[in-house]
Structure 1
Amino acid sequence: MKTVITITACLLILAGCQDSEENRLFTVANAAKKSIAARYKDPDAVLFKDLKLDWHQQHICGELNAKNGFGAYTGYEMFRAELKGTGADTTVTDFWTARSKLNQVFDDSAAGRLTTTLGEARLKIIYEVVCDDSTSHQSSSKSPIYIPVKS
């Protein structure tokens, strides 16, 4: 009987840890979304989907759709944001979209400032925008943490 009670208590404790970790991840993601949305003209209208945290929780990636100056949505585009913090105090220290980063690479290539091939630079952007570091991609079994949409 003591064994059953002990096992039940352990399972309840583990279930509580899982729930609090999940809530912490949602808190980090929501703080990051708020910080990213604040960069746009209409922060309340920014839509997010397919959010992922890297396993260190230093980056958040996904897609966002924001309104332009005419009040129309521009379409979803992939983004990556560097994060600082571990909870509700999480802020974004750097933010870019795949489109803006690719434009920068093409500009650097045209100006002769690119230190790698154009193909390597584009591949690096693809890995980064899906929260996967191209150098650790081959050596790590850790994958991004998907953040489901909470209704």
Structure 2
Amino acid sequence: MSDQKFSFSGSFQKAKEYIDTQVELLKLKTIARMGRVIGTLVLDATKLLLTLIVVFFLSLALGFFLGELLGSNALGFLLTGAIFFVILLIIRAFEPKLEAKFMDLTIRRVLGKWQEDEEFFEETQQSKDTYEGANTFEGQNTQSDNKTT
């Protein structure tokens, strides 16, 4: 059995390596979380854009349809515009409640993605700890076997 001596330089080196590893881990976790949040925001923006395009074409179709019913395309589009104006007034009347609802929805969505990543990192850490614990246990058996011989 060999005696190992305590050295400050070795301890400082191990501490420095540990801190560097923790900083790198923090950077990687932040990048993963931000990537997930940005990905979600990009997908939501794409869905919003496609929804606006669909609404635009449905508005055109409604304008032409009402134009045929009323005998004038101008009246059809005027009525379509009036319908959107009424919808705008309704939204304006309920604006504070709708704003709070959308803020809550957005915050929940972003935090949900953030927590999913956190759970993934915790599971990864637990499996790593279990693996390291098994290796440590095996190492202790090897050391105790060495002592007996």
Question: Which has a greater percent of strand?
Answer: 1
Please report the TM-score for the alignment, with normalisation by the length of structure 2.
0.33
Q: TM-score, structure 1 length as denominator?
A: 0.32
Structure number having the greater helix percentage: 2
